[in-house]
Amino acid sequence: MTESTKIIALGTGSAFTLGDNWQTNFIIQRNGKNLLVDCGSDIRWALKDHGFSYKDIDGVYVSHAHADHVGGLEFLGFTRYFTRQYMIDAQVPNPIPLPKMYCVRELVSSIWNNSLKGGMEGIQGIDCTIDTYFDVKPVQRNEAFVWEGLKFDVVQSVHISAKYCVVDSFGLMFTDTNGKRVYLTTDVQFAPETSMMAYYKESDVIVHDCETMYKSGVHAHYDSLKTLPPDIKSKMLLVHYQDNVLDDWDTWSKKAIDDGFRGFVKKGVIYVSE
């Protein structure tokens, strides 16, 4: 029997959260399997906080190369590699596999060369590549990957630019078995005049980036999001907020509901198939 799909927010804080809210990373859980959506710097603590370990991660999706989304890949890669090698050397049946890694093809080299290689390029006697640690499943642009019977579309986000080029960053969208279209924006600017509005309209549930203090320009700010049409806001679960929301949770929660959002969400289960 196929289980329901569950989305667990390992954290819902910004990149620089100082509390125990942890950075905004997720687990999509289905059929007893766990797909980690992004793997930030504090992932070891976030996993432990929710009763998971590195051994429980079957696959990881990486949206882009910022540290709050890739900074924990060294931890995941090393722990799985050495555990697997120990089991192989000890001739343990069915040694733990390398975790699958899903990301847009062009991000693979960027993640390795710009984020991971400095700490992971060598193990004693071995010259390593990203494939040493992960079973890499690159995804072509405008294509999708299938995990536990669900088709995940990668959706390009406008997050940051470097000089004249938009840097690759991709959210995820999937249709659950209940027919609901679920969209995890990951990090994204406020840009409804672009194709973002079409993505919003396509979705039934939107887990949306939302900063709540200074306006960085690279994340959608609450004050901007509240100008969206009511039918769009009513779909939105707000994440990636600064610590000021947790500091005054009741006020911010009421404000979000009064402004028409589905609400701010804390770490924990945020979605289950209905």
Record the tokens describing residue 246, joined without a space: 């947790």
**How many helical (H) and strand (E) elements, i.e. helices and strands, does the chain have?**
11, 18
CA-CA-CA-CA dihedral for 187, 189, 193, 199, to nearest 10: 10
Amino acid 2: pLDDT: 59
User: Number of C-alpha atoms within 13 angstroms, CB side, residue 221?
Assistant: 9
What is the DSSP-derived secondary structure letter of residue 38? Answer: -
- Residue 6: its H or E element: strand 6-9
pLDDT recorded at residue 193: 87
Q: Are the C-beta atoms of residues 64 and 54 closer than 8 Å to each other?
A: no
Cβ atoms of residues 222 and 252 within 8 Å? no
Please answer whether residues 260 and 229 qualify as being in contact, where contact means their C-beta atoms are separated by less than 8 angstroms.
Answer: no
Global pTM exceeds 0.85 = yes
Nearest to 62 by CA among 112, 129, 10: 112
Listed as ranges, residues in the chain with pLDDT below 50 are 1
DSSP alpha helices (H): ranges in 90-170?
Answer: 105-110, 117-120, 130-133
| Contact partners, residue 212, CB within 8 Å, separation at least 6 | 221, 222, 241, 242, 244, 245, 252
pLDDT at 80: 98
pLDDT given at position 91: 96
- The alpha carbon of residue 129 and the mean position of all alpha carbons in its chain are separated, in whole angstroms, by 23
pLDDT digits over 71-109, tens only?
A: 999 999 999 999 999 999 999 999 999 999 999 999 999
Phi, psi at 194, each rounded to 5°: -90, -160
Domains of the chain, start order: 6-268 (3.60.15.10)
Using CA atoms, how far residue 235 sits from 37, 45, 51, 201, 229, in Å, is: 20, 30, 29, 10, 11
Q: What is the pLDDT of residues 106-137, one digit of tens each?
A: 999 999 999 999 999 999 889 999 999 999 99
Assign 142 to helix, strand or coil: coil
What secondary structure, in 3-state letters, does 196-248 show? HHHHHHHCCEEEEECECCCCCCCCCEHHHHCCCCHHHHCCEEEECECHHHHHC
